[in-house]
Amino acid sequence: MVKRVKHVLRSTDRTQANGTVHIKKRQLAIYARVSTKDQGQEIENQLHPLRAWADLQNRIDVLEYTDHASGGNLDRPGWSQLTADWRAGLIDTVAVLRLDRAFRSVVDMHNVLSELDSRNIRFAVTTTPIDTGTPHGRLLIGLLAHVAEFERDLISIRVKEGIARAKRQGKKIGRKRLKLSTYRAREIVNKHQGDYAAAAVELGVSISTVKRRVKNLPS
């Protein structure tokens, strides 16, 4: 859903040129999502506590972004608009009620949090201690990253065991690999002015994959 200003901004936070309003002060963004499978769930059930949290931060400059979509990937209208706005320098804080409202993928989570960190944008999950604006929150995110890496290693071991078993049984395995050419990777990296995290989010791959493709590009 298209963003909307929840609270009226102070006149001192705005400038006007040719009748167009420009917001000078970076704003707090709250994001809410309900899945298409979540029958009976209301987006307001998330927005209400998020607004209350914003009030506790003494913020009157709040933007709201919402989606009625699956969390399987980041290709959602509300999230895409939020991403465009923080890349435009309009956002200084992103808040969600629960982590799974923003991400369902570990790769997506790390790519986005890396990008936000590089842009000095705070990320907060209001129902947990996860908050990059606090030392404890940054520590927790670091610990979660290690736990996620450990979990991915376990999954990798299980996958390899499953592949070996399938090969022994003579089964054809695997899926079509994502085709990402070195030139495509360089094109998107240049589009984001060398920001590998932003390029990885757009391409739907890891940051290391983008760097590896770009490195392979002949000089």
13, pLDDT greater than 80: no
Instruction: Write out the DSSP string of 26-76.
Output: -EEEEEEEE-TT-TT--THHHHHHHHHHHHHTT---EEEEEEES-SSSS--
pLDDT at 65: 96
- Domain ranges (residues) in the chain: 4-134, 182-212
Q: Which residues does 204 contact at the CB level (< 8 Å), separation at least 6?
A: 73, 74, 178
Is the CATH number 3.40.50.1860 carried by domain 4-134? no
Terminal CA-CA length for the chain: 43
Give the 3-state secondary structure percentages of the chain, helix then strand then coil, rounded to 5.
50, 15, 35
Is residue 86 within 8 A of residue 94, CB to CB? The reply is yes
Q: Is the dihedral of CA 101, 98, 59, 110 positive or negative?
A: negative
Least confident of 11-25, 82-96, 100-114, 134-148: 11-25
Helix (H) or strand (E) holding 124: strand 122-125
Please list the residues that pair with 21 across neighbouring strands.
16
pLDDT tier at 147, thresholds 50, 70, 90: low
* Residues carrying an active site annotation: 35
Decide which of 195 and 154 is more confident. Answer: 195
Is residue 97 within 8 A of residue 46, CB to CB? The reply is yes
pLDDT tier at 148, thresholds 50, 70, 90: low
Number of H helices, E strands in the chain: 8, 7
Strands 4-5 and 62-68: antiparallel
